[in-house]
Amino acid sequence: MLYIAKRLAFYVLAAFVAITVNFFLPRLTPGDPASTIVATYSTTLNEESLAALRQAYGLTDDPLFQQYLTYLGNILRGDFGRSLSNFPAQVSDIIAAGIGWSVLLGLTSVLLSFVIGSALGALAAWRRGGIFDRVAPPVLLFLGSFPYFFLALLLFYFFCFKLKWFPMGNAYSSVNPPPFTLSGIGDVLYHLIAPAFTVVLVSLGPWTLNMRNAMIGVLSEDYLTLAEAKGLKPRRVLFSHAVRTALLPNVTALGAAIGGVFSGQLLTEIVFTYPGLGYSLMRAVSAVDYPLMQALFLIITLSVLAANFIVDTLYVLLDPRVRAGQGA
Amino acid sequence: MHRHTSLKKSPWHLSRSLRALALAGLAGVAALSAPLPAMAEVPLDQLVRIVAEGGNSFTRTFNPFSPTARWVSTRTMYEPTMIQNYATGQLDPWLATGYEWSADALTLTLTLRDDVKWSDGEAFSADDVAFTFNLMKDNPGLIGPAAGAFGQYLSAVEAVDAKTVKFTFSTAYTPGLYAIVDQFIVPEHVWKDVADPVTFENSEPVGTGPFTTIDAFGTDRYQVTQNPNYWQPLNIEGVFVQGFNGNDQVSAAVLSGNIDWGGLVPDPDTTFVALDPEHFGYWWPRTSVVMLLANTTDGALGDTTVRKAMSLALDRQRMINTGVWGKSVPGNATGLPEGPFKDWIDPAVVEAGASWVNIDPDAANKMLDDAGYARGADGIRVDKEGQPMAYDIIVPSGWNDWVSASQIVAENLADIGINVTLRTTTADSWTNSTFTGQFDLSLGTAQRTATPFEFYRNNMATSSVQPVGTASPNNQQRYGDPAVDELLAKFAASTDATEQKAIIAELEGMFNEAAPAIPLYEQPDWGLYNTTRFTGFPNAENAYAPLSLQMTNGPLLVWPKLERRAE
């Protein structure tokens, strides 16, 4: 358990560093939130409004360090303040409006690419040198090397705009959020297909290739020869012995990928007009919206740290070498 | 999109934790996505679908004193007392029926309509108007057309009786009329109990406007329906606002016929109108001028001769053809757009100004040669300090019409020995550089205003010049002439239209002399409409109001004129 305590201390330190960087980094870039708002939203505001906006938004000339202490205090109390680019909305309200959809789209697409990619990789390695092995990995890598924006826009154009198989946007049909019923969930899933599919399509390649390569390594191990020699059925050898071991690197990657879910699927949100936090983050950065930026960066860093901590902790349970203190 | 970077070799079991993660995620989504039961929404086919707001993660913020609150706050919910109509050039009566100046221009009296009610049924009165202005006086953080009025010229606002409001001025300032009548009015009976009006989210708005009922509200769209007590007859149920994240998606929605009003498609004659000439239309009236701004704090760029020579080298028609599909006209030497200011523009100035706004690169070269800006060995001219005349022109990337105009500026100026490099930046960085005067060349437009007063103040008055490094939206080129300040003061003290016109003509002449900014072409106000379901949109044949959704005072004029087409 000393190992977990050490890791925990490391993560607390990392979180503190991240919180600090979140504060200083946005403020190091040149820019003035009030000017940006005047320039973006109004053609009639003048210098007086500019000064008034600064005052209203609490943009003070206090020393940066003093502002930093105030910020730390607010973070500890869970007070993220009000967004400047959606003034006077609370940052927490904006995040609450988008986070569910980010998580839904992110988790669905990451888990689907993981499951499908690993299955395809295992299949390719099992029939190594076969037709499937020769065709699938290069095709998937080819798709993955497309710029995502281009591929998504192409699919949007054909399947949503021309053929109208899928909706041209939104996460559900009604304006108010859908009811939590079978038809409501179905509606949400229907809107999820096109955006999730494009993400899966471009990210499938690495999952497949990594799984295939790990499988090939495992298949040449002595214990698999032993398993076959014992007379086990090929299916049993494949699933219980080969896949189980070969999947481990992909599982580690899954931890990292899930941590990245909150950074949002910005391009997917743009192309499929899907709600989520990615677009909010882009707008926050372009509008120099410090409070919203800080809160979003905090969510991203904390979720990456949390996902990694879970992986680290599971190592202890699953890998005897870590328990013995050799490190991961 | 996810790219995993490195794969560490590390064995552990997956199924249990994976399932737990997935379940936790789905439970979270379910909890967040279903906080409300489905309500009876007004059917979408009864609502005008518009493109007005970008983005998603919408929150219920309807504070009309915040420029970043929901779009409807200042376009369907709250109303001003009068509306400056940029399509007709008239000041249309709205909550007020008219105004009157005292002879000394120190008192302005507004007479209000007596048939207006707030959406909650309470009567609208002069007290609400006086309250709104005094609220802004007590809370300088409230942003609106009249923000800052008390600091500059207004001393008191009071209700004389239920339908008369008196504005007392501390100094004669007749252009203040437009700022005052443009101000959105809020109900005293609601806002007097608000602890901090600046941070008030106003999620249950009470207004005098046509659509004040939030019928349905989702994460990236909402619909707002009729105010039961609206003071004008309405023929439509309300509006539906969809947030978009990208221009291509707006185009796709517009071309699919999913939008009734708004949006922008390139080259609309071919890409849009041709799809359904009977219903699809656009109208791009022009109410401001795109100008090339040269930072006059730079040595050579501060020289009028250099700016005029640069102007002579520019091919404005090419900018219009490439940037806005030919839908504009070159700017004239007064700097004013012809449409809204036709009564103010002095034809003599326009005629005299042809000598520096019409293309003539040979004359430009001669001017620079004569003024002593000789070409160096590389063909680039050198300024009086011996530095090569090489400048950056900055524009935001993605503003395609401006980027293409800037490219043409760079090409044209190369012909007269001035080396210009186009640098596209983020909109934020561009704003920061231009507001603080830290740039060589840039593009800009003027605010839309009722008279040319603000244009000359914001481009030529010393009062609008801030030192380099101090942010200001106006006079980015930092040109100031004390004689302009004097003329503007005379204008502001006058209530006589003839006298005001004479002063503006004089200012036009000074603009023509000094070229503080270089007019390029008139900027179209983008506007598209689709009459499949709704009719009555303003257009060139029926120019009763602007079509642009971005103006705060255009849509209010349009709502009462729209009608649902019979099925």
pLDDT in tens, A29-53: 766 777 777 776 555 566 666 777 7
pLDDT of residue B565: 92
Encoding tokens for residue A235?
């299916």
Burial class (CB in 10 A: 0-12, 13-18, 19+), A153: buried
Give the residue-averaged pLDDT of B70-80: 95
Give the residue-averaged pLDDT of A4-24: 86
Q: How many CA atoms lie within 13 A of A315 on its CB side?
A: 25
pLDDT of residue A321: 59
Encoding tokens for residue B469?
């490094």
For helices A248-259 and A182-219, what crossing angle results, to 10°?
140
Per-residue confidence band for A308, with pLDDT thresholds at 50, 70 and 90 = confident
Give the residue carrying structure tokens 């999730």: A196
Q: pLDDT: is A327 or B121 the higher one?
A: B121
Q: How far apart are CA B509 and CA A205, in angstroms?
A: 67
A168 contacts in chain B (CB < 8 Å): 249, 252-253, 256, 258
Give the nearest partner residue to B9 out of A90, A103, A249, using CB atoms.
A249
% of chain A exceeding 70 in pLDDT:
90
B238-242/B280-282 β-pairing: unpaired
pLDDT of residue B2: 32
Is B141 touching A (CB cutoff 8 A)?
Answer: yes
**Interface touch A328/B38, C-beta < 8 Å:** no
**Interface touch A175/B35, C-beta < 8 Å:** no
Residue B6: pLDDT over 60: no
Encoding tokens for residue B353?
């100004």
Residue B96: pLDDT over 70: yes
Closest CA to A224 of A208, A245, A207, A210: A245
**Which helix (H) or strand (E) segment is B412 a member of?**
helix B400-414
Interface A-B, measured as beta-carbon pairs within 8 A, has a size of 298
Q: How far apart are CA A77 and CA A67, in angstroms?
A: 15
**Which helix (H) or strand (E) segment is A70 a member of?**
helix A64-76
B221-226/B238-242 β-pairing: antiparallel
Across-strand partners of B109?
B100, B166
Of A251-255, B483-487, B498-502, the one with minimum mean pLDDT is A251-255
Summary count for chain B: helices (H), strands (E): 18, 20
> B41-69: per-residue pLDDT in tens?
788 889 999 998 888 889 999 999 988 89
By C-alpha distance, the chain A residue nearest B13 is A318
3-state secondary structure at position B159: strand
CB B295 within 8 A of CB B478: yes
> A214-270: per-residue pLDDT in tens?
888 888 888 888 888 888 888 888 877 788 778 878 878 887 787 767 665 788 888
The angle formed by the CA atoms of residues A253, A258 and A262, to the nearest 5 degrees, is 140
Taking only residues 166 to 195 of chain A, the set having a beta carbon closer than 8 angstroms to any beta carbon of chain B reads: 168-172, 174-180, 184, 188
> A266-293: per-residue pLDDT in tens?
888 888 889 988 888 888 887 888 889 8
Give the residue-averaged pLDDT of B136-163: 91
**Interface touch B57/A44, C-beta < 8 Å:** no
3-state secondary structure at position B197: coil
Of A8-22, A35-49, A165-179, A278-292, the one with minimum mean pLDDT is A35-49
Residues near B256 by Cβ (< 8 Å), separated by ≥ 6?
A: A161, A168
pLDDT of residue B22: 38
Per-residue confidence band for B25, with pLDDT thresholds at 50, 70 and 90 = very low
Burial class (CB in 10 A: 0-12, 13-18, 19+), B187: buried
Q: How far apart are CA B4 and CA A205, in angstroms?
A: 11
Closest CA to B423 of B404, B390, B389, B396: B396
CA–CA distances in Å: residue B323 to residues A72, B401, B410: 48, 4, 15
pLDDT of residue A224: 82
Tell me the average pLDDT of chain A: 83
pLDDT of residue B18: 35
The angle formed by the CA atoms of residues A5, A11 and A13, to the nearest 5 degrees, is 105
3-state secondary structure at position B566: coil
Residue B488: pLDDT over 70: yes
Cβ neighbours around B498 below 10 Å, total = 7
Taking only residues 346 to 385 of chain B, the set having a beta carbon closer than 8 angstroms to any beta carbon of chain A reads: none
Residue A2: pLDDT over 70: yes
Across-strand partners of B184?
B80
pLDDT of residue A318: 60
Taking only residues 193 to 222 of chain A, the set having a beta carbon closer than 8 angstroms to any beta carbon of chain B reads: 199, 202-203, 206, 210
Is B489 touching A (CB cutoff 8 A)?
Answer: no
User: In b/e form, how buried is each residue of A109-126, taking b as 16+ CB within 10 angstroms?
Assistant: bbbbbbebbbebbbbbbb
Residue B460: pLDDT over 50: yes
Find the DSSP H helices in B104-171. 126-138, 149-152
Q: How far apart are CA B435 and CA B426, in angstroms?
A: 14
Of A8-17, B28-37, B316-325, B551-560, the one with minimum mean pLDDT is B28-37
The residue of B200, B220, B548 whose CB has the most chain A CBs within 10 angstroms, and thus the best one to mutate to test that interface, is: B220
pLDDT of residue A15: 87
- Taking the domains of chain A in order of start, what are their residue ranges? 2-76, 92-326
B50 contacts in chain A (CB < 8 Å): none
Closest Cα of chain B to A32: distance in Å? 7
pLDDT of residue B17: 36
pLDDT of residue B257: 92
The residue of B39, B50, B143 whose CB has the most chain A CBs within 10 angstroms, and thus the best one to mutate to test that interface, is: B143
> B222-236: per-residue pLDDT in tens?
999 999 999 999 999
Per-residue confidence band for A138, with pLDDT thresholds at 50, 70 and 90 = confident
CB A124 within 8 A of CB A137: yes
**Interface touch A288/B429, C-beta < 8 Å:** no
In the sheet with B96-101, reading across from the earlier edge strand, the strands are: B96-101, B107-112, B164-169, B154-161
Residue A21: pLDDT over 60: yes
Encoding tokens for residue B87?
């399509």
Taking only residues 395 to 424 of chain B, the set having a beta carbon closer than 8 angstroms to any beta carbon of chain A reads: none
pLDDT of residue B510: 97
Q: How far apart are CA A207 and CA B20, in angstroms?
A: 21
| Superfamily of structural domain A92-326 | MetI-like (1.10.3720.10)
CA–CA distances in Å: residue B141 to residues A47, A49, B130, B148, B277: 13, 8, 18, 10, 47
pLDDT of residue A174: 86
ipTM of the complex: 0.83
Residue B39: pLDDT over 70: no
3-state secondary structure at position B393: strand
Closest CA to B387 of B308, B309, B313, B300: B300
pLDDT of residue B489: 95
Is A292 touching B (CB cutoff 8 A)?
Answer: no
> B261-320: per-residue pLDDT in tens?
998 888 899 999 999 999 999 999 998 999 999 999 988 999 999 999 999 999 999 999
Q: How many residues does chain A have?
A: 328
Closest CA to B563 of B48, B96, B168: B48
By C-alpha distance, the chain A residue nearest B258 is A168
Encoding tokens for residue A197?
């599919």
Closest CA to A159 of A120, A129, A193, A186: A193
By C-alpha distance, the chain B residue nearest A53 is B141
Residue B326: pLDDT over 90: yes
**Interface touch B4/A111, C-beta < 8 Å:** no
Per-residue confidence band for B19, with pLDDT thresholds at 50, 70 and 90 = very low
Across-strand partners of B261?
B50, B529
CA–CA distances in Å: residue B114 to residues A303, B167, B231: 58, 19, 10
Q: How many residues does chain B have?
A: 567
pLDDT of residue A42: 56
Give the residue-averaged pLDDT of A49-64: 74
DSSP letters, B13-73, are --HHHHHHHHHHHHHHHHHHH-SS----PPPGGGEEEEE--B-S-------TT-TTS-GGG
Summary count for chain A: helices (H), strands (E): 16, 0
Across-strand partners of B392?
B421
% of chain B exceeding 70 in pLDDT:
93
Q: How far apart are CA B418 and CA B436, in angstroms?
A: 24
Closest Cα of chain B to A96: distance in Å? 8
Closest CA to A8 of A231, A286, A305: A305
Per-residue confidence band for B129, with pLDDT thresholds at 50, 70 and 90 = very high
CA–CA distances in Å: residue A8 to residues A22, A252, A258: 21, 18, 19
- Model pTM score: 0.86
State which of A155-164, A294-303, B277-286 shows the largest mean pLDDT.
B277-286
**Interface touch B182/A44, C-beta < 8 Å:** yes
By C-alpha distance, the chain A residue nearest B203 is A89
pLDDT of residue A320: 57
Closest CA to A202 of A264, A113, A132, A111: A113
Give the residue-averaged pLDDT of A77-81: 86
Residues near B82 by Cβ (< 8 Å), separated by ≥ 6?
A: B91, B92, B93, B94, B95, B96, B99, B110, B181, B182
B30 contacts in chain A (CB < 8 Å): 180
Q: How far apart are CA B517 and CA B443, in angstroms?
A: 10
